[in-house]
Amino acid sequence: MNTPIAIIGSGMAGLSAAHALTAAGLCVQLFDKSRGSGGRMASKRSEVGDLDLGAQYFTARDRHFVDIVQQWQENGWLAEWKPALYQSHGGQLSLSPDTQLRFIGVPRMSALTRNLLGELPATFACRITEVFRGEQHWHLVDATGQSHGPFSKVIVAVPAPQAAALLSAAPKLAASVASVAMEPVWAVALGFDKALDTPVEGCFVQDSPLDWLARNRSKPGRASRPDTWVLHATSAWSRQHIDLAPEAVIEQLRCAFAELIGCAVPEADFSLAHRWLYARPAHAHQWSALADADLGLYVCGDWCLSGRVEGAWLSGQEAARRLLEHREHNS
Ligand SMILES: Cc1cc2nc3c(=O)[nH]c(=O)nc-3n(C[C@H](O)[C@H](O)[C@H](O)COP(=O)(O)OP(=O)(O)OC[C@H]3O[C@@H](n4cnc5c(N)ncnc54)[C@H](O)[C@@H]3O)c2cc1C
Ligand SMILES: NC(=O)C1=CC=CN([C@@H]2O[C@H](COP(=O)(O)OP(=O)(O)OC[C@H]3O[C@@H](n4cnc5c(N)ncnc54)[C@H](OP(=O)(O)O)[C@@H]3O)[C@@H](O)[C@H]2O)C1
């Protein structure tokens, strides 16, 4: 049997690499520090239903990604989201329809990555802290000190600041990855027993602590009651308020929401806040994926490209392609 390939991170990039490698007949083993797959495409189960706190939707522009998105849609894992879209500039709210196709996992964003995970071998609640190479093979050590291996190659598919810490075996690679800054985002969910009196279902926001807001019930497959909303702060606001208590974040973003939405906003009947420390890369890159192919160490993630779901998928594909290419040349 093949010595398996370790993939650290079961977000879109890690799952994309896993699919490309298993399609080529190789064995993979995924590891994730969370209890499930999906990473920043996660959805939170709550008393008011599932809430997509990270990625809100995604677009498909690359033709390979367009093709796979179509397959996922045919499998019933995705739906198109057609919200009544608004924009807010300087406090002025206006309708902002466009023709962009936007996709979401159904019945929650994380359903897509759960479907992609399928039966792939994966170890969850396992934070990898060390990646080292023995004489012939790679081994991983987790936060409890347990070691995992042997593996023929390793793909690190986690946000850049977390990846850099795992790359001490390849100092040049580690230095490139460590140069990538990622920005935080505070996300807040609000639930109202009595629906808000507004036609807004999604809104791109400028000149506010908020960057984006979405109304859950406008998304296919979501509960219609209570009326729940997800608000994202800008990265600048999130950085400035990084250590603010969640209750204070909720109140400040609720006030910003009330100022722009153009209808009465009562106290929320439900609220929660989630802090994404590494939400998006500070700058876009055109790296696709990074590697020390002779060592057998590969790095991928949205931050190698656009900082979007599409970029994460493309980056995972590229890491797998480079691994397979190197393997072929050396066989
Ligand atoms: C608030 C927010 C809103 C967003 N909105 C959009 C949007 O509307 N549209 C869009 O296209 N994109 C959006 N994005 C970006 C999108 O979510 C990401 O581009 C994409 O999900 C990244 O996938 P990834 O696999 O590269 O990384 P991740 O999803 O971060 O996956 C990395 C995985 O690695 C795991 N991990 C990390 N360190 C370790 C370790 N040491 N050991 C084991 N496991 C580890 C994590 O638990 C995680 O599951 C948004 C992101 C956020 C945070
Ligand atoms: N919050 C986070 O941490 C994020 C991390 C990574 C990505 N984030 C957001 O994801 C969205 C995905 O971008 P894309 O796939 O390119 O989607 P688009 O819908 O095309 O949006 C891109 C960008 O364009 C502006 N925009 C698009 N449509 C409209 C419209 N109808 N009216 C007004 N503006 C529109 C908008 O940019 P602004 O700078 O104007 O707000 C969109 O952001 C994308 O939203 C990322 O921010 C979040």
pLDDT < 70 stretches in the chain: 1
What local confidence, expressed as pLDDT, does residue 331 receive?
Answer: 79
How confident is the model over 131-169, as pLDDT tens digits? 999 999 999 999 999 999 999 999 999 999 999 999 999
Within 10 angstroms of residue 7's Cβ, the number of other Cβ atoms is 32
Pocket test for ligand 2, best of 205, 308, 313, 315 (most atoms within 8 A of CB): 308
Residue 55 lies in a domain: no
CA distance 187 to 280: 13
Q: Which atom of ligand 1 is nearest to the CA of 232?
A: 1
Q: Is 99 found in the same domain as 241? A: yes
Q: Which atom of ligand 1 is nearest to the CA of 126?
A: 43
Domain that holds residue 39: 5-45+113-179+285-329
Residue with CA nearest ligand 1 atom 20: 309
Residue 51 lies in a domain: no
Residue 66 lies in a domain: yes
Residue 52 lies in a domain: no
Q: From ligand 2's centre to the CA of 286, what distance in Å?
A: 19
Q: Is 222 found in the same domain as 272? A: yes
Q: Is 268 found in the same domain as 253? A: yes
CATH code of the domain covering residue 151: 3.50.50.60
CA distance 75 to 61: 20
* HSE-CB for 285 with a 13 A CA cutoff: 23
Q: Is 248 found in the same domain as 104? A: yes
Q: Is 310 found in the same domain as 205? A: no
CATH code of the domain covering residue 95: 3.90.660.10
Cβ-contact 137, 253 below 8 angstroms: no
ipTM of the prediction greater than 0.95, yes or no: yes
What's the structural domain count of the chain? 2
What local confidence, expressed as pLDDT, does residue 324 receive?
Answer: 98
What local confidence, expressed as pLDDT, does residue 1 receive?
Answer: 57
CA distance 175 to 67: 35
Residue 53 lies in a domain: no
Q: Is 267 found in the same domain as 185? A: yes
Residue 54 lies in a domain: no
